[in-house]
Amino acid sequence: MSAAEKIRRSQLRRFEARQVLHAHVATRRKRDQLVWSSAALVAIVVSSLALWGYTTIGPGTPPSAPDASLSENRQWVGEMVFDAASLDITLEGDLAPKAVANFISLAEEGFYEGLDCHRLTTDGLYVMQCGDPLGVGLGGPGYFFGPVENDPSDRTYPAGAIAMARGAGDGSSMGSQFFVVYEESIIPSDAAGGYTIMGHITSGLEDFINAYVLDGTIDDSTDGPPATVPTLESITIR
């Protein structure tokens, strides 16, 4: 056998060996990909089942609005205590059972304690908005409810009214935020209607205005954070 032929045969054997190696690597890569894909699928399924169990039957069950029956379809009386003023209130469980049931439930569990009122309006619309745990108008109890109840047909909200805040055009976006009307206001309705009046202030409104409204907003605008921030210390309902 000539030297040239020996070289060709050696090159052929190396080529065939590389082909076998490449085939083996390709086969192993496919097998590994299948194993990893299967493992990933199993992990996703397990995680999904765990999340489902946690949120449906476990301690992570999402909160929901209390049943309207908690309002007992009757009037309730109570007191909202701020750091510099107190408001005696009446809640209309007969007219706004869902909103009143929600407010009573949150008040009894201490949800509102320590929360600041984050919004004051002073031109045409005269309200102080409260009840947001984030303090910026975007927070809530972790759930929403609706629809709108007990909204005035003439769009007039009397001084002392306590009404539920909500998203524009969405009657099922109520949560924990509410507003106190400190001066009669006309609030236009939208696609969802008006705003649920759940109660009214029976005494203390003048003290509330003197303590928190007269200083205006923090930047002297007609709609913004109040310069003197009301902090809710407690709500008692009976």
Same domain, residue pair 72 and 55: no
Q: Which two tokens stand for residue 210?
A: 């003197």
Same domain, residue pair 124 and 174: yes
Q: What is the domain range of residue 8?
A: 1-62
Domain boundary among 12, 27, 62: 62
Dihedral Cα 210, 213, 217, 222, nearest 10 deg: -140
Of 238, 236, 163, the residue nearest 199 (C-alpha): 163
Same domain, residue pair 138 and 228: yes
Residue 119's beta-bridge partner residues? 129
What digits encode the pLDDT tens for the residues 3-35? 656 555 555 565 555 555 555 545 565 555 554
Of 157, 162, 198, 202, the residue nearest 180 (C-alpha): 162
In this structure, what CATH number is given to the domain that contains residue 199? 2.40.100.10
Of 209, 103, 118, the residue nearest 162 (C-alpha): 103
Same domain, residue pair 98 and 205: yes
Number of structural domains in the chain: 2
Residue 130, phi then psi, degrees to nearest 5: -140, 175
The per-residue b/e assignment along 142-169, b for 16 or more CB within 10 angstroms, e otherwise, is eebbbebbbbbeeeebeebbbbbbbeee
**pLDDT score for 79:** 98
Same domain, residue pair 102 and 26: no
Same domain, residue pair 229 and 176: yes
**pLDDT score for 16:** 56
Q: Which residues of the chain have pLDDT under 50?
A: 25, 35, 40, 42-58
Same domain, residue pair 90 and 140: yes
